[in-house]
Amino acid sequence: MTTTIYTFRFFFLAALGEPRSELASKARDPSKIVLIPLVILAGISLIMGQFQSEFYNFVYAGTIKLTVPYIISLSPTMMVLLGLIITIPLYATNGWKSIDVTKNRIYCIVKNKYYLDRLFTNDLAERGIMPMAYGFSTFESYFSKSVENLGSGIMKLGSLFRRLQNGIVEYYFVVIIMGISIVFLIIEL
């Protein structure tokens, strides 16, 4: 369906839009020897898209067929045909030259790509993704600092124990007394 919407946009802007470059302004219609086979192939592809499940059953009978309601499978074709029905008469009769579509609301929506770029940039990226990225970055920096502090604290504690473990009996006695005191404090509280 998304491809169909952009195909409609393509037809609409091709018939009613302004050329974007100097080469585009000098473009002309192809000759009938190119246009007729192209239209035939486009028509066949529009029609054959509706019968693809029968083709898959022909190729491999065990293919699982995922089906949707017929109106939904037909809607992309109808959207493309609607775009063609709107643009062919305007383009063939040069009626588009007399229409000022630049102020038309539909033209603005189609020209601005249905405002999807603005929606992504302003709403999704700036209001959603950027604050989440900032939050995750802040959390990651605090987590990283806490892991570093834990490691350096263990290293300092190890160096303290290394100083106490020098073979002097008085230091061992002090450590035993401190350990017993801590145990009694924990039990009493």
Mean pLDDT in the chain?
78
Over residues 49-93, the pLDDT tens digits come to 767 666 666 666 666 667 778 788 788 778 778 877 877 777 777
Q: Looking at per-residue confidence, does 114 or 178 come out higher?
A: 178
How far, in whole angstroms, is CA 80 from its chain's centroid? Answer: 25
Highest mean pLDDT among 33-42, 78-87, 101-110: 33-42
* The two three-digit tokens of residue 138, written as one number: 């802040």
Read off the pLDDT of each residue in 95-105 and give the average, rounded to a whole number.
Answer: 67
Alpha-carbon span 172 to 118, nearest angstrom: 71
Q: How confident is the model at residue 149 (pLDDT cuts 50, 70, 90)?
A: very high
Q: Which of 28-32, 33-37, 152-156 shows the lowest mean pLDDT across its residues?
A: 28-32
Residues of the chain with pLDDT > 70: what percent?
A: 78
Q: Which of 111-120, 131-140, 160-169 shows the lowest mean pLDDT across its residues?
A: 160-169
Helix ranges restricted to H, the chain: 2-16, 22-25, 32-48, 52-59, 70-92, 105-111, 116-118, 130-164, 169-188
Contact 84, 57 (CB under 8 A): no
* pLDDT given for residue 100 in this prediction: 66
* pLDDT given for residue 83 in this prediction: 74
**Is the pLDDT reported for residue 17 higher than 70?**
no
Q: How confident is the model at residue 142 (pLDDT cuts 50, 70, 90)?
A: very high
CA angle 73–15–105, rounded 5-degree value: 80
